[in-house]
Amino acid sequence: MSISQHRSPSYCIDYEGCIRLANAIVVMAANDYRRALRALKRNPRNGLAMDKAMECERFFDGNWFKILTNVDGQLLKNKLREEVRGHDSKRVSE
Compute the Cα dihedral for 73, 76, 78, 84 and give only its sign: negative
Burial of 93 (0-12, 13-18, 19+ CB in 10 A): exposed
| Domain extents in the chain | 14-93
pLDDT above 70 for 63:
yes
In the chain, % helix, strand, coil (3-state, to 5) comes to 80, 0, 20
| DSSP state at residue 4 | G
Amino acid occupying residue 23: N
Other C-beta atoms closer than 10 Å to the C-beta of 28 total: 11
Tens digits of residue pLDDT in 1-20: 666 665 555 665 788 888 99
More confident residue, 49 or 4: 49
Find how far residue 88's CA is from the centre of its chain: 19
